[in-house]
Copies of this chain bind each other. A is one copy, B any other.
Amino acid sequence: MSSFGSIFKVSTYGESHCASVGAIIEGCPPGMPLSDADIQPQMTRRRPGQSALTTPRNEADAVQIQSGVEAGVTLGTPIGLMVRNKDQRPHDYTETDHYPRPSHADWTYLLKYGIKASSGGGRSSARETIGRVAAGAIAERYLKLAYGVEIVAFVSSVGKVHMPDSETDNDLLSEDYLKLLSTITREKVDENSVRCPHQETADLMEERIVEAKSKADSIGGTVTCVIRRCPVGLGEPVFDKLEAKLAHAMLSIPATKGFEIGSGFKGTEVAGSVHNDAFVKKADGKLGTKTNRSGGVQGGISNGEDIYFKVPFKSPATISQEQTTAKYSGEEGVLATRGRHDPCVVPRAVPIVEAMAALVIMDAVLIQNARKASASLLPPLETPLPPSMSLPPPQKAEEIVDEIVKTQQA
């Protein structure tokens, strides 16, 4: 449906050419400082027209908080968000009245609803992602303030141009690449307009995008995202494993075709004895894993290591190049789509991936905090648990929980 999350719940509305797009965010903890300015930076990173590599549609995308905040602090009540649509040019799309655009949503929306918005993809437009990015910025703000969580995404490939080490020969990611994941910042990512932190690769990527644009064509790519300092214990067995929610979130972004976490597809080729992440006592005295093929999640639950995953975005369906395709009537013809479109979506997809990641983590945090806080109120067990069911020496449930909370706050 049009909402996401179970406690931190986001509902969005808006087509590409209606009066406004917006969102309602429920479940934001009360007492958090929040203003339009805290949301705007990610909106600006997402907005069209930000560089020569993106669609020339020009929208300031200025977000306005409608409710749920007073004196600059969240009330705990629903936060209404609105962004006015300004640069609307519905006339651009008249040609597509006769043609369902290939690999676009025109045809399936008509199959689903028996009616479709007159232009620009309606609800399937990239403008729909505004609400997500705004909501994600709020989630991320909480995660940062409460736990120091860091979420950074970047472009790891455009067409056949891949970041070095982002794909491997020996089926597992290199130490260097994992180190990059553990240190990369948004500032570094934004140093070029492709949003690839490896400048030489970024240059090649830019060339590839410009080539697509010059041919009135388009090209796909991948976005990699890392979540650092994620609280442990997140993810709900069995259907709402953390990676399942992340995959759901990512595949809900327009143009995505997949998801892989940790060692992903290539990792399946490696024997368990090599692939397993052995445990070690870390510098802080706590257990951690020596390697991180799991990608920060084991059994569907976060283990405190970096969570990293990769998301493929197909080449945009809307291209100005002529395409031979059938009209709604079945008659074959040649379509050259006018309108303003991105030749490659991955640079603008970066903040969207970050936003969806933040929404998943935030909701998981609230659910886990419900459990932890509630379990911590139980009296100590009269009979200690057997060693097979607890930490040796047996600890009372609430001590474990307290310790976890402290660790997370540290």
Q: CA A338 – CA B221 in complex, angstroms?
A: 44
Bound together, the chains give a CA A328 to CA B267 distance in angstroms of 26
Instruction: Check A180 for interface membership: any CB of B closer than 8 A.
Output: no
Q: Which listed residue, B7, B74, B221, touches A367 by the CB 8 Å rule?
A: B7
A179–B382 alpha-carbon span in the complex (Å): 35
- A373 on the interface (CB 8 Å rule)? yes
Of A37-45, A194-202, A252-260, the one contacting chain B is A252-260
| Docked complex Cα distance between A316 and B276 (Å) | 9
Cβ contacts under 8 Å, A107 to chain B: 279, 287, 298, 303
Give the complex CA separation of A382 and B145 in angstroms.
13
B233 with A244: CB separation less than 8 A: no
Minimum distance in angstroms from A150 CB to a CB of chain B: 16
B298-A104 in contact (CB<8A): yes
**With a CB–CB cut-off of 8 A, which chain B residues contact A326?**
278-281, 287
A198: shortest Cβ distance to chain B, in Å?
A: 18
Whether a CB of chain B sits under 8 angstroms from the CB of A54 is: no
Q: Are B76 and A115 neighbours in the complex by a CB distance under 8 Å? A: yes
Contact present for B102 and A217 (CB under 8 Å): no
CA of A124 to CA of B391, assembled, Å:
18
Which of B11, B22, B275 contacts A220, CB < 8 Å?
B275
Contact between A157 and B268, CB atoms less than 8 A apart: yes
A303–B259 CB distance below 8 A: no
| Chain B hits for A373, CB < 8 A | 369-370, 372-373
Task: List the B residue with the shortest CB-CB distance to A330.
Answer: B281
Q: Which residues of B contact A301 (CB under 8 A)?
A: 105, 108-109, 111-112
Asked if A70 and B118 sit within 8 Å, CB to CB, the answer is: yes
* A212, A289, A385 — most chain B CB neighbours (10 Å): A385
In the complex, A293 has a CB within 8 A of chain B: yes
Interface assignment of A73: CB less than 8 Å from any CB of chain B: yes
Q: Judging by beta carbons under 8 Å apart, are A145 and B12 in contact? A: no
**Nearest B residue to A116 by beta-carbon distance?**
B389
Is A60's CB within 8 Å of the partner chain B?
no
Q: Give the residue of B73, B249, B328 whose beta carbon is less than 8 angstroms from that of A381.
A: B73
Query: Which of B30, B116, B119, B157 contacts A375 (CB under 8 A)?
Result: B30
26 contacts between A and B (CB under 8 A): A13-B79, A14-B66, A20-B67, A30-B113, A71-B385, A73-B385, A77-B122, A103-B276, A107-B287, A107-B298, A111-B303, A112-B368, A112-B371, A115-B390, A159-B269, A159-B271, A238-B254, A239-B252, A257-B264, A257-B267, A259-B260, A273-B321, A275-B315, A276-B317, A278-B324, A285-B330
Q: 18 more A-B contacts (CB under 8 A) besides A1-B26, A217-B271?
A: A12-B24, A20-B67, A29-B375, A73-B389, A76-B112, A97-B388, A102-B289, A105-B300, A114-B401, A118-B386, A124-B300, A217-B272, A218-B271, A220-B268, A239-B248, A264-B312, A273-B321, A276-B319
